[in-house]
Chains A and B, each alone.
Chain A
């Protein structure tokens, strides 16, 4: 392939004020400004968002799925982190 690859950007869309930006997909663009325009045309044709983020895909560091157990498993047995672990008599009422 003789053509220079066009950089890839991850797109995040805030659907409305009060919500977090959420990953929508990716676009290819030469720079951030063009990535924003492409993201707008690709992911918000029907009022899906009020705000966009574009992030160079290479800038994202992800956890390795192979580490899933060692990273997330230890929380499974810490049931004392949940309110239902504690016994409060019914007479106390809602707490």
Chain B
């Protein structure tokens, strides 16, 4: 989840040397010819920085994304729902790990990447700063948030950096279960009692706009996508992906007999697209700036988990060192 990092401006370190124009030209030609770039290949410093930021923030999003859903594991309404939710949250942990592994191939250590998240220097997707108030939110997240994630992630399977593309292929394969389990929850509620139906409607009302914001600012405002598009890190613009998501999702919502919280939503016969109303970009900016409903809580939870796990990491390393020393002593004694 997702490509919000690509909307940030890349800032080169002050004393960065200029790129060798010949190597840069060769690199650009390779990318233009759809050749994949692999970890040890030469790449421009800005490409490395942009990808490190993008992949690590994608990883952070997966890890922070475990929190809003983890909130409901112990209160899932049946064993079937509980097993599915547990598996989904576990997948998100796995996706975070594939992505950290891909980011590390660019030369930044896992410890540094995690540090950047915990210190607040690195961002994660805006969507995870919203609370999960009712069980229906778990349905809405699977259906809408994972649905938006899939739209964003499928083109990333063809991104120019090999390790990122390979991680995305695995992630996309696993992600479709997430969306289907969410939609199934929504369908069950929508066909249930009046109270259940109202709960589903309330969840759609609260998650719809934040899901549209996941694709990032409108194209007119995201000037930094040009280079990412040329380097084939990003394949489609924010608005193109957002439209694709709306077109796919609106009929699914109508099947549920729910309504979207957008009085301007209408079908444009001629273009074959669903047209949506204005997005509140001020809300998006506030959430990115750290002022969303749950920003503080999410970061607190990650910091606490990291601090409370420190003794386990230390003990594992100490145990491994002790066993290594013992084996070495045994070998010496045997000689």
Binding site for B on A (CB under 8 A): 1, 3-6, 8, 25-31, 34, 41-42, 45-46, 62, 64-66
The verdict on A1 contacting B38 (CB below 8 Å), with A34-B316, A42-B98 known, is no
Interface size class of B (residues with CB under 8 A): 20 to 34
Of all chain B residues, which has the CB nearest A48? B170
Q: Tell me which residues across on chain B come within 8 A of A5, comparing CB atoms.
A: 109-111
Nearest-CB distance from B109 to chain A (Å)? 6
Within the complex, which residue of A27, A31, A45, A46 is in contact with B101, where a contact is CB–CB below 8 Å?
Answer: A27
How many whole Å from B114's CB to the nearest CB in chain A? 9
- Partner of A3 from the list B94, B104, B313, B324 (CB cut-off 8 Å) is B313
- The chain B residue sitting closest to A46, CB to CB, is B174
A28-B110, A30-B317, A31-B320 are contacts. A3–B97 as well, Cβ < 8 Å?
Answer: no
Nearest-neighbor residue (CB-CB) of A68 within chain B? B41
- Could you list which residues of chain B lie within 8 angstroms of chain A, going by C-beta atoms? 38, 40-42, 87, 90-91, 94, 97-98, 101-102, 104, 109-112, 115, 166-167, 174, 310, 313-314, 316-317, 319-320, 323-324
Given A3-B313, A42-B97, A65-B41; A30-B110 close (CB under 8 Å) = no
B98 and A6 form a contact (CB under 8 A):
no
Q: What chain B residues lie within 8 Å of A6 (beta carbons)? A: 110-111, 313, 316-317
Q: Please name 19 further chain A to chain B contacts, defined as beta carbons within 8 Å, in addition to the given A6-B316, A25-B102, A30-B316, sorted by A numbering.
A: A3-B310, A5-B109, A8-B104, A8-B110, A25-B98, A25-B101, A25-B166, A25-B167, A28-B110, A29-B316, A30-B313, A31-B316, A31-B320, A31-B323, A42-B94, A42-B97, A45-B91, A46-B174, A65-B38
Alpha-carbon distance between A3 and B111 when the two chains are bound, in angstroms:
8
| A34 CA to B315 CA, complexed, in Å | 12
Which residues on the A side are within 8 Å of B112 (C-beta)?
1
> In the complex, what residues of B have CB within 8 A of residue A8's CB?
104, 110
Q: Tell me, rounded to whole Å, the shortest Cβ–Cβ distance linking B46 to chain A.
A: 19
Beta-carbon nearest neighbor of A45 in chain B = B94
Which interface residue of B90, B97, B115 has the most chain A CB atoms within 10 A?
A: B97
- Bound state CA distance, A27 and B98, in angstroms? 9
- A41–B94 CB distance below 8 A: yes
Give CA–CA (A12, B174) in the complex, Å: 19
Complex Cα–Cα for A86 and B91 (A): 53
Contact between A45 and B109, CB atoms less than 8 A apart:
no
Q: Which chain B residues lie closer than 8 Å to A66 at the CB level?
A: 42
Find chain B residues with CB under 8 A from A41 CB: 94
CA of A3 to CA of B312, assembled, Å: 12
Residue of B with least CB distance to A57 = B104
- Cα distance, A30 to B320, chains bound together (Å): 6
Instruction: Let me know if A64 and B317 touch, CB within 8 A.
Output: no
Contacts of A28 in B (CB 8 A): 110
Complex contact A30–B319 (CB within 8 A): yes
Chain A residues, Cβ within 8 Å of B98: 25, 42
Contact residue among B40, B104, B319, B320 (Cβ-Cβ distance under 8 Å from A64): B40
Most chain A beta-carbon contacts within 10 A, residue among B102, B109, B167, B310: B109
B65 → chain A, closest Cβ, in Å? 17
Residues of A within 8 A of B111 (CB): 1, 3, 5-6
A26 contacts across to B, CB distance below 8 A: 101, 104
Report whether A4 and B317 are in contact in the complex, using a CB–CB cutoff of 8 Å: yes
